[in-house]
Structures are given as structure tokens and as C-alpha cells.
Structure 1
Amino acid sequence: MRSRLLFFVILSSLHVTSHATNFDVCLESVRNGTFGTGKIGATDSSGNILEDVSQAAGVTYGLCVKACGSGQEPFRLLKFSQQFSSWLLPWLALVSQLPFGPTGRLENLESVVLTVGSPMLAAYSLALTVLNRRWIARRFSKHNYPNTQNAIRVLSSLQQAPLRVTNEGALLASLIVLPQNDMWWRELIEWLAYPHTWSISAVTSIAWVVIAYIFTVIDSFTGDLAEAINANGQGVGSLWLWLLPIVIGWLQISPKCDEDRVRSAVERANKIAYAATDTHPVSVKDLNTEHRAIHLAFGEEDEIHDVLRRDERVTAPIYNYARFLPWVQAVEKVSETFGVVSERYYHHESVDPMIGWITMCDRIGGHWSKPHDRNRVGSVEQVARYCQFDPRYRHTAFKSRWGPNVFSRIAIASALAFMLQWGTVGAAFIVVYFTPTTGLGCRSASYLLFGALSTIVWLLLISSFLVHYVSTSSPSSAYTRIRPLNLRQYQGGRSYPLRLSIARHLAIFLRRLAKLLATVNAIWILAACLFQFGNFFDRCYCNSSVFGRGSGAYNIIDWTTLNKAPMKNAWVGGVCLAGGTAFLFVGFVNVFIDPPLPGN
């Protein structure tokens, strides 16, 4: 039975090979008049139909199918393996240098699929992370209170986690005001300071990709064009060039995305946190409460298990788009508290009004010196009152569902992501589009479809706005807990509003649709590259650019009379476009990655 099956497979392979198209033989048969003479469909290198078929350099699509058939050129394993290992394999190896972190393998795989299926989403999350670091530094620059710098570092490092902030029982106020909590800030920074940055493996992968791309460009200009004009790797190299600045950017940022380590760091820090009481500060772990001022909603909260907000829990950095709005809200709570206490500190107000202000020294470097510890202690009521907004001072709270400067950062990150996405995909499209037969064909349409689906995935993930809208519309405090829809009830017995039900279902649907499209797009672009290297696209339909030329489609077979200057100019333009956009994105990351921090 097995021998019969093997014989059948070999026979089928021979049958396919025997029916494979050979365009050189087809053209020769057309020149010999096998299919007639006169205007039968023989063309020159510009697509003009000739009367003298012996001078033919190409054929119309109709004559191509008639003379050559509709099949592809034969698959050549040696040629396929060389092109795959030189032009695609380095990029696939570079994917391994993307930052991971979730404990589940499925979430890690999903983050890779999302990155490959939507480079625009990956670039958007990266740009948003960089802009957030700069925004928080500027947001806290007007505050002058102990641990301001530490707060910036802590909150920036927790962009990859489901951050939550609460002031229940004056916990947040105690964390900021009490001198006993200075250790909390310092220790958390130290425990979060684990690297995901440059390594020998990362440098080797990046160097391999850069060298392979350079050789791809050189080979496309100096190699035998007639041998591999439709299968050279320049288009593939430009198509995947977006991955290089994404990997370099994350290596430079070094995101704290290891779920176990981030969770452990915050839990360890919260064990040494102190809270104000009616008498004296005590350790938070000794209080009869499970709440913490700053914590991560990985599993103890019902809300994070809700399917509506699933992506917030996944610590892979590409999901920063889902954490952006709740992270801004949490940061703003901390910033407002720092702003209030900074104003009171500026006016020499003690937490306990009965304790006079102890002057330590004058201004140092344009900032007031650190306040005395005695001016930073008091009862829980005094600490809470010390952190409440006072209309006498110029500090005002930002009242918004979304947060300050949210849409400007979204616009900038979107523009940068669009530039990187379409600068590289557009370069690959240009390279293939202007490769004769010019026009929209199978290869260029594949690249265009990949870019379009990538952009659609990014657009569909505006569902994060709907998630935030539903979450902040709950009557519960903090960053809401939304019950499953089948309960149809809020806490307290009120009915679930129809508008929130619709928004919730729509958000979940859009997110799932986006991930489905990203998965299809990732599979599609890999298949398209393999099709190109395996000669699947070397058939009459694809080589004739039927998509773009329609009834005027033709296939150039003899390249000896072709004017190659316009094609090479387009190739140079494509290389410059892809390389330029990648360079600009890396430049943006390097300029904005390390914002100046306010002095203590």
C-alpha cells in the first residue's frame, strides 16, 4: 500500500513537471509561426503588436495562454532554497528578537502573529510607548516633591502591565507623602531593572538581516535579470524592512514585559509599603484590606477576566494600544496627587498643621530642598486632606474621560506607523510594479493587499476606545468593573444600559475580527513570498499584469531588447524609500527615548 502511494506521488510530480510552462520554448514557437503569422498577438518589449512574429519579444495574454498554457514555470528546489535562505529566512529569524513576556505560549504566539500581520499596529504601539515616556516626564516636570523622578521611572516601566491606582483609605496619599515609603519607590525601580536589551543573539540577527538586504540590492542590480527578474528578493527585502526598526526600537526601550517578574516586583514592593492611620504609619500588609495604592490587575479583579478587557492583561508590548487609555488615567491620578502636595510643599504646609515648618535650606539648583520628615507625617485624615485639591492654589485637576494630550499622541504615533508601514510596503510595491511587465500584477497586488489588511487591522483596534468608554461609564469607582452581559445588571441592581451593551459587543467583535485578519494577513504574506520564490507567480496571468492592464495585458519574455533604465530607477527609488522611512523611524525613537527628568 505504501509503495503504491509513493508511486502515485512520484507520478503526480512528474505529471505536473511535464505540464509546466517554459516561456522560452513558447516564444520560440511563436517566432517560428507555429500559431500563425501577422497580428496574432506577438508584441515587442513595449507591448505593441507586431506583424512580423519573428521579431517578437513578448506575447499578449491571450496568445500566452494559447501557446504556453495557464500553468506556472517548473519549481526549482535549488533556486527556491537559495532565495528563501538569503532573502526571507533572515527576517523570520529576526522575529525571534521581538519582546515577549506573557506566561502563556498562546499569547506569545498571538503577539508574533499580530506583529507580522499588522506592522502598522506594531509600529503604533512602539511609537505610543516612546511618546508616553516623554509625556510623563513633561507631565511631572512641574511637580517638586520627593520621589518625583522615581514615580516617572516606575510608571513608565509599567506600561506593559495592567496598572491600577487607588486612593481608598488614603493609600495613594500615604505612598506619596509618608517618608517611610521612599524605600518603596527606590526598591521597585531596582526590582524592575531587569534587561531586555542588546545581546549577542540580537546583534547577530540584526547584522545578518542588514547584510542580507545589502546583498539582495546588489544582486538585483548586478545579477542576471533574465534569470530571476520576477523572483529577485529586492521586493521581499523592502517589504520586510519595517521589522528592523521595530526590533531595534524595542531593544532600545527595553520594555518590562515579563509577566512573572513584573508581578513579583510590584507584589514585593507592596509588602514594604506604609499607610497612615489614626496614630502612626503602619505596614500596609498589617491592615485589614487587600487594596494597594499601585497594583497590577492580573488576576485578583473580576474586571480583568472579562473578555472585554482581555488584551490589557497580555504583557507583550504590542498590546500597549489596549493599555494606553487606562494607563494614562492611572498616571494622571498619581500626577494630580503629586501636583497638590507640591503646591502645599511650596507654601511650607505641614501634613500635620500642629507641626511647624522646619526649614532645611534655601533653593538648590532652582528647586526647593527635600522637606523634613516631620513635615511629611500625620494621621490618615490629615494625609488625605493634604492630598486633596485646594482652590487657593493654581494646580487644577484634568477632568476628562480620556486623559490629557491623548489624541495628539495618538495622531503622532499613527502618522509614524503609517509612514513606516507604507514606506516599506510601498517601496516593495514600486519595485514590483515597475518591473516589466509593468502594472498591477499578482506580486504587486499581494504586497498591496498585505499593506491594506495591516492598516485595516490597526483601524479595527479602535475597539480599545470602546472598551475604555464602556469601562469608564460604569457607576463603580476607580477603573470600573463591568459584569458579563448575561447578568444584565450593574452592581446595585440597575439595568445594563443598551448603549453600553452595544458598545461592548461591538468592541469584542472588532477586536476578534482584527486578530482574525492579522492571522490571515501573516499567513498570506509568507505564502506570497514563497509563491514568488517557488515560481508560482511565473505564469501567463501574473507575468502579464492582467489586474492592471486588463485587455491590454502582455507578457515580456525576451529581455535583450528591453530598456532597463526606468526599471532600475524605480528600484533605486524603492530602496531609498524603504531605507529612508526605516531610518526616520529609528531616528524618532533615538530622539525621544530618553526625555530629561525633573530634578529632585
Structure 2
Amino acid sequence: MISFVALLLCFLGVVEAVNFDQCIREVQSGLWGSVGGTDNYGNPVSDISNATSITYDLCVRACGPGAEPFVWNIFSQQFSAWLLPYLAIVAQLPLGANDKFDNLVALLLSIGSPTLAAYSLALTVLNGHWIARRFSRFSYPNVRHAVQILSKLQQAPVKVARGSMLASLVVLPENNQWWSELVDRLDYFFFTWSISSVASIVWVFVAFLFVVIDSFTGTIVSETLNANGQGVGSVYLWLLPVVIGWLLLGPKCDSVRLHRAMDLANAEAYVATEHGPVPADEVSSDRAISLARKLGSVHRDEMCTPPIYNYARYLPWVQSVEEVYHVFEAASKRAELHHSVDPDVPWEREEKGGRAIVRAENRRGTLAQVDAYVRPTRHLYRSHWGPGVLSRFLVSSLLALALTWATTGAAVIVVWFTPTRGLGCRSGAYLLYGATSTLVWLMLVISSGLAHYSTQAATDIEGNPVYTRATRMAGLVSILLRRVGKCFATCNALWIVLACIFQFSSFFDRCYCNSSVLGLGSFAYDVIQLVPADISTMKTAWIGGVALAGLSSILFVLFVNIFKDPPLPAE
């Protein structure tokens, strides 16, 4: 694809190539009249021979509307130095879906919406920190395992069933093995540090550092001014903190291994009966905690295990966590009051390592006793959304938007202050990329909220869901937003790659783009010959852009590193 575009641009460059150096000499000689010459700030000059810039109208007449010729040496040098390392690191983004198409869509979503990619990562980090703190005041057995399991299942469509199954899973000592073994089964290495990931990150970092240094030399500034990849290096820099952040977290996103781990653990689950605990298989095929294998079209993204889809699982995951939380809360309160599950069994106090522990004898009882043990002593208001979802959403959104617009803004700054200063084709391409990235994030987040709302249906006497017109409409709008958002993300991913190729191939090096017509309008002019003041201002802007993009990326990685390993509840 890239080779085809390069060959096409090479052919077009031969057909309609212009030579701006020759053009300015003709203008200075008076061949095109004495009107239209300007200085590098757009001010008319009295003597056309002193003109270093020309108005857009004169540029089109004297130079032609075409672009400068395609130069393979410049294209290959800039492409390999600026764009190729980032395309290589895209392969390090975590995937893991069983469907190759889902993995492809996840890649396009990441490239097409850095905002969504950073948002899902920040949300995952904050969720892990939140659940650890929320469960930290409990001292009931397996609470530490519950935090670990639920945190690792953010990449999966986890389902938690209310009732006796969940009560038995938490209370019965026979299920200790279920908790511990599931933690072990989920502790596998799927997306973690490897030689290839480290090599890719180092390659990008070193390439970025070297080319940034080289770009400040006079040779590159003067010879490859408009084909320089400074802006490209900044606009893709978000990839580094996102890839490093996921490597620090090590998400469990292999769909096959997740389902297998859950199935093997659930095969060893026990439930309480009136005659004592029995294997869950003897009672029902349902389980207290499981992974959904099939959901409706509204919840399509929840089934996809690549971590970028964590945005779609956010609200359902919080609801699942709350179900488990309330059971542990009730059981912990009963244990603190030294109440056994079976009221006829006296409480036996035991300490281990200076901490009181709950003995197995105090955790056994009949089905009715287990249900009563975890029944709340007060009425619980259950929100359809969950505690703290708004605050974590806002923090994650601010972090994602800051990273997106710091890197995109840095790219805009670099080309904005490259003469002719102002909004042109190159800066407009980056602005469009950032704006579309933000729009895709907004559409998909709204879609996930509507999808969650559409499932909050009332139930009839027999317990069957009753959907209203509002919930049905929310589901339809959710599907529409999701599909349109993904189409926009795909187009945006293709656009940013194509825009970079256009920049390296001199396709943007034409009167319209060089004159910043988008921003200057009728006052547009084309700077053809640089003066020392231009180079000084341009280098200052480039340094500022690099600093903005680099600092924002470093701060994002620091955020992930600080919050990624919260202290777990004591066992």
C-alpha cells in the first residue's frame, strides 16, 4: 500500500512538478511584474528584487498549482527515520482476541483514536486502584484473591450472579481452592516485557532522539524544510506511553486462556444445600462468577478482549464488582461480630501472625443459613452506574485528552511555525487527526453508557426483563454510535498515515499548502527563501513542540507506574 502510494506520487510529481527556486528567481527578475512580492511576514516589498516571498495568487500564476517533484532519497530517509519506527511499535499493542478481525479493528481503533487508547489504559489503572482500596477494610478469607481476580478480569466480559451461588462461593471454606487456583491460572504471561518489545521501544526512542538532534542542523532545515518529519515524530509519540503503560500492567487479554482458566476453576466450585456443600455441577450449570460467551449486538465490544475495549466493559465491570463487594461486606460484618454461619456452632477465635482469622468451622452451614449470613442488615441503594464511576471517568478523560492534544498539539506547533506560519495543509491534517480522535472517543464512550442503560430493564412477576421504549432506543443509538465511531477511527488511522506520506513525498509542497491558505485566507503568501530570523524562530518552536510531547508522555507513564500496583488487602 505504502509503495503504491509512493509510486503514484512519484508519477504525479513528474507530470506536474514545479520548481520554487526557479520561480522566485523569475519573480525577482521582474518577469511576472512588480506586484506580489513580500517579505517573510507577508508585507509587500517596494523592490520586487528583494522579495523572499510571494502572494498566493502570484505563486499560482508564476509557479503553477502543482507540487515540487517527488525525491525518493528524501522520502525514504524521512519515512524510515520518522514513521517506520512507529509503525513497528504498533505491533506491540496488546490484542488477544480469538477473532482476527477483532484484533484488526482494535489496531485501527488505537491508531485512529489515541484518545480512546489512552482513556482505556488510564481507566484500567484507576479501576485496579479503586477496587483494592474498596476491599481493603475487609478481613474475610479470600478477599485478597477477589481483588486480584476481578482486577485481572477487566479485559473479559465477566458476569456475577446474585443469590446462593455467590454467597456459597464467598462463605464456604470448600471454595478456598476455587479462589486460589483461579488467581494462579490468571497469573500467566501474555502481554509483558520481552526482547522484541524492549527493542521496539528503544528503536523508537533512539530514532526520535537522533533525528530530533539532526533536524536542528542547518542542512536539514534548509534542504528538507517542508518534508521534515518533526511533526510526524510528535503526533505518533503517544504510542510510547500507551505501549509502555500496558507492558507495565500486563493485561490478561488472551480470550482462550481466560475462558479456559474460568472453566477449570468453576469445575471445582461448591454450593451450599440443605444437606451440606456439594459440587456446583450437581446443582446447576450456572456459576457465581463466569465469563459471557455470547451477548447481543448492543454489547458486541464487551466480548472483545483487547484492552482498548475496556471502555465498553467499564460500567458492567463496576456492577459485577459491587455484587461481590456487598457479599464480602455482609460476611465480614458477621465475622467481626463473631457470628458463625450456623448459629448453633460456637465461634472459635484463632490468630495467625497477630491477626484474627475465620476458622473453617464457622463458615459452614445450610443453604438457608448461608443466604441469611450474607443478607444485608440494612437496605442497600444499588445505583445503575456504580460508586465513583464519574470521578474515574473524568480523571481518565483528562489524562487521555492531555496526552492526545499534547502530542498532536506539538505536531501542529512544529508545522505552524514553519514558514509560512499559520494554518495550512500540514497543520490542518494534524488538527483533523486530533479532532477525529477526540470525536471517536466521545462517540464510543457515549455508546457504552447507552448500552449499559439499555440493560437496566425492569422485571415482571416471573423475573423476565421488561424493556421500555427508552431502553430499546438507547440500545439502537448505542449500536449506531459504535459503528459510526469505528468507521471514523478507521478513516482517521488511514488518514494520518497518508498525511505523513504526503508530507515526506512533497505532495504538500505546493502553493496552496505552503501559503497557509486555510488560516490566512486572502492574505496568504508563500515563503520561498528563509532568512536567519525564520530559522531561529522555527527551531525555538520545534524545541517547544518536542518538549511538550515528550513531557506529556513521561508524565503519563509516571501516572501508570504510580497507580499500577496498589496495596492489596491482607489475607
Whether the TM-score (by the shorter chain) exceeds 0.5 is: yes
Inter-CA distance 546–13: structure 2 relative to 1 (3 Å threshold) = closer
Q: For residue 554 of structure 1, what is the amino acid of its counterpart? A: Y
Which runs of 5 or more residues in structure 2 are unaligned?
1-6
Residue equivalent to 1:5: none
Measured against aligned partners, the alpha-carbon deviations of 1:149-191 in whole angstroms (never above 9, x if no partner) come to 11000000000000100134x1111111111111111100111
- Partner-residue secondary structure (3-state), 2:350: coil
Q: Select 1:387's aligned residue among 371, 374, 379.
A: 374
Structure 1 position 574 matched with structure 2 position 549: no
Q: 2:447 maps to which residue? A: 463
Task: Look up the SS of the partner of 1:157 in the other structure.
Answer: helix
C-alpha contact 2:349 2:356 (8 A) present in aligned 1: no
Query: 2:490 matched to 1:500?
Result: no
1:167 aligns with 2:171: no
Cross-structure match for 1:182: 176
- Residue 80 (1) aligns with residue 51 (2): no
Query: d(CA) in 2 for partners of 1:463 and 1:11?
Result: 39
Counterpart Cα distance in 2 of 1:346 and 1:283: 28
Q: 2:456·2:471 contact (CA, 8 Å) conserved in 1? A: no
Deviations 1:372-403 (A, max 9, x none): 11111011111111111124xxxx74521100
- Show the counterpart of 1:270: 266
Question: Which residue identity does 2:239 align to in structure 1?
Answer: L
Does residue 1:430 correspond to 2:420, yes or no? no
> How far apart are the structure 2 equivalents of 1:401 and 1:132?
17
Whole-Å separation in 1 of the counterparts to 2:95 and 2:13: 43
Partner secondary structure for residue 298 of structure 1: coil
Which residue of the other structure, out of 107, 113, 138, is the alignment partner of 2:102? 107
Cα deviation for residue 97 of structure 1 reads 0.5
Aligned-partner residue type, residue 559 of structure 1? L
Alignment correspondent of 2:134: 139
Q: Match for residue 92 of structure 1?
A: 87
Q: Deviations over 1:31-63 (max 9, x none)?
A: 1111123xx101122222123121121111011
Query: Counterpart in 2 of 1:3?
Result: none
Q: Distance in 2 between matches of 1:428 and 1:522?
A: 16
1:313 aligned to which of 279, 303, 313: 303
SS of 1:295's equivalent? strand
3-state DSSP class of the match of 2:42? Answer: coil
TM-score, scaled to structure 1: 0.91
Shift in alpha-carbon separation, 1:11–1:583, aligned structure 2, 3 A: closer
Q: Secondary structure at the match of 1:369?
A: strand
The aligned counterpart of 2:4 is none
> 2:339 is matched with which residue?
349
Is 1:193–2:187 an aligned residue pair? yes
Instruction: Give the structure 2 partner of residue 444 of structure 1.
Output: 427
Q: Which residue of 1 aligns with 2:3?
A: none
CA distance in 1, matches of 2:349, 2:15: 94
What is the distance in 2 between the residues matched to 1:468 and 1:167? 18
Specify the code of the residue in structure 2 equivalent to 1:585. F
Task: Note closer, same or farther for the CA distance 1:11–1:463 as it changes in structure 2 (3 Å cut).
Answer: closer
Q: Which amino acid aligns with 1:416?
A: L
User: Residue 21 of structure 1 corresponds to which residue in structure 2?
Assistant: 18
In 2, the alpha carbon distance for the partners of 1:594 and 1:12 equals 50
Instruction: Assess, with a 3 A threshold, how the Cα gap between structure 1 residues 15 and 567 changes in structure 2: closer, same or farther.
Output: closer
CA distance in 2, matches of 1:243, 1:47: 38
| SS of residue paired to 1:518 | helix
Corresponding residue to 1:335 among 309, 312, 325: 325
Residue number in structure 1 paired with 2:33? 36
Kindly indicate whether the alpha-carbon contact (under 8 Å) linking 2:78 and 2:229 is maintained by their aligned counterparts in 1: yes
Whole-angstrom CA distance in 2 between matches of 1:158 and 1:13 = 50
Partners of 1:336 and 1:397 within 8 A in 2:
no
Shift of 1:567: 1.7
Identify the residue that residue 488 of structure 1 maps to in structure 2. Answer: none
Letter in 2 for 1:252: L
Give RMSD over aligned pairs: 1.9
Deviations 1:575-599 (A, max 9, x none): 1110111011001001100111121
Separation (CA, whole Å) in 2 of partners of 1:592 and 1:241: 22
Query: Could you tell me how far 1:22 is from its partner in structure 2?
Result: 0.6
More displaced stretch, 217-226 vs 460-469 = 217-226
Displacement after TM superposition at 1:571 (Å): 1.1
d(CA) in 2 for partners of 1:74, 1:328: 56
For 1:146-295, list aligned pairs within 5 A. 146-168=141-163, 170-195=164-189, 196-224=191-219, 225-287=221-283, 289-295=284-290
Alpha-carbon distance in 1 for matches of 2:474, 2:89: 38
Q: In the superposition, relative to structure 1, how do residues 510 and 240 fare at CA in structure 2: closer, same or farther (>3 Å)? A: same
1:16 to 1:439, Cα distance in 2 relative to 1, 3 A: closer
Q: Is the 8 A contact 1:216 1:237 kept in 2?
A: no
Q: Are the aligned partners of 2:9 and 2:505 in contact in 1 as well (CA < 8 Å)?
A: no
CA contact (8 A) 2:13 2:70 kept: no
Displacement, 1:222? Answer: 1.1
Q: Note if contact 2:159-2:292 (Cα within 8 Å) is conserved in structure 1.
A: yes
Aligned with 2:204: secondary structure?
A: helix
Letter in 2 for 1:35: W
* CA distance in structure 2 between the aligned counterparts of 1:294 and 1:178, rounded to whole angstroms: 15
Query: How far apart are the structure 1 equivalents of 2:345 and 2:16?
Result: 96
Give 1:19 deviation, angstroms. Answer: 3.1
CA distance in 2, matches of 1:215, 1:54: 39
The answer to whether the Cα contact below 8 Å between 1:45 and 1:561 also exists between their aligned partners in 2 is no
Aligned residue for 2:386?
A: 403
Q: What's 1:66 paired with?
A: 61
Distance 2:12 2:385 in 1: 63
Partner of 2:516: 545
Measured at CA, do residues 11 and 257 of structure 1 come closer, stay the same or move farther in structure 2, by a change above 3 Å?
closer
What is the letter of the counterpart of residue 179 of structure 2? W
Cα distance in structure 2, aligned partners of 1:116 and 1:190:
34
Given residue 327 of structure 1, which amino acid in structure 2 is its aligned partner? W
Distance 2:232 2:29 in 1: 37
Would you identify which runs of 4 or more consecutive aligned residues in structure 1 move more than 4 Å? 10-16
Q: Matches of 1:593 and 1:584 in 2, distance apart?
A: 14
Letter in 2 for 1:383: V
**How far did 1:476 drift?**
7.3
Check the 8 A contact 2:14/2:69 in 1, yes or no.
yes
Give the aligned residue type for 1:207.
Answer: V
- Which residue of the partner structure matches residue 494 of structure 2? 523
Structure 2 equivalent of residue 555 of structure 1: 526
Which of 350, 353, 359 matches 1:372? 359
Q: Is the 8 A contact 2:10 2:70 kept in 1?
A: no
Q: Distance in 2 between matches of 1:454 and 1:497?
A: 33
